[in-house]
Amino acid sequence: MNVKLIGFTPNPEKIPAMAAKLTHSKTKPEELDKTSDKELDVILKQVLNLGHTSVIEHTNFTFAISDVSRSLTHQLVRHRIASYAQQSQRYVDFKEPCYITPPKIEKNKEMKRAYNLTMENIWKEYNKLLEMGIPAEDARFVLPNAACTNIIVTMNARSLMNFFELRCCLHAQWEIRQLANKMLKEVKKIAPTIFKNAGPACKTKKICPENKKDCPLYPK
């Protein structure tokens, strides 16, 4: 899995702070940029501590994500407030096998052998369909959830906070949890104040939505 932050809103923490100040100030919008960075930093911390996170919607982040499974992206696109551009199985050549192997299968030699054989057979049948003149948009029906894909994702900071609460959780599926943690690591470099306390709900809200009391992170 490769995750790269390829774009973000300039002044990612200053703009939300300016938006927060606007709501409680007579200062005109065009004059907000005259506010000192120190004052804006204080304002941003205050509104985040109060849970007023609507202002961070003004900050967007764009990620380039590659070598993940279709199983992962099926979960990812359920996060509605985001923009996606995914590699097409209609227009891209997938004649060479490319798939993700789950860690538990990877660790079991017998299971891994059977898994790899299954994938090889799938791609043989896929290529056979193409050779028979079946269009790629129909041949792709035999490709598995494990098939590799690439995707570009844009989310605002508030949506990302929700994404991290759900997908950094130890009970999230392993691949999307890995993705969420890599994305969180990237945005913390750019907006450390916004994402200081980002992570699973047990960290941000001190609750466990899954009520999994056997989880090592369960709030005590």
What does pLDDT average to in each consecutive run of 10 residues of the chain (220 residues)? 97 93 83 84 92 94 98 96 96 94 96 97 97 95 97 98 95 96 97 94 86 80
C-alpha 32/C-alpha 34 separation (Å) is: 5
Amino acid 5: pLDDT: 98
Amino acid 202: pLDDT: 87
**167 has catalytic annotation:** yes
Q: Which two tokens stand for residue 17?
A: 């702070």
C-alpha 109/C-alpha 129 separation (Å) is: 30
Cβ-in-10-Å burial (0-12, 13-18, 19+) of 206 comes to: exposed
Amino acid 211: pLDDT: 82
Do residues 12 and 190 lie in contact, with contact meaning Cβ atoms separated by under 8 Å? yes
Q: How far is CA 132 from CA 119, 121, 125, 126, 139, in A?
A: 20, 16, 10, 10, 10
Catalytic residue among 70, 140, 158, 167: 167
Do residues 24 and 203 lie in contact, with contact meaning Cβ atoms separated by under 8 Å? no
At 146 the three-state DSSP class reads coil
Strands 83-86, 148-156: parallel, antiparallel or unpaired by DSSP? Answer: antiparallel
Please state the pTM of the whole predicted model: 0.92
C-alpha 126/C-alpha 16 separation (Å) is: 49
Amino acid 152: pLDDT: 98
Amino acid 28: pLDDT: 82
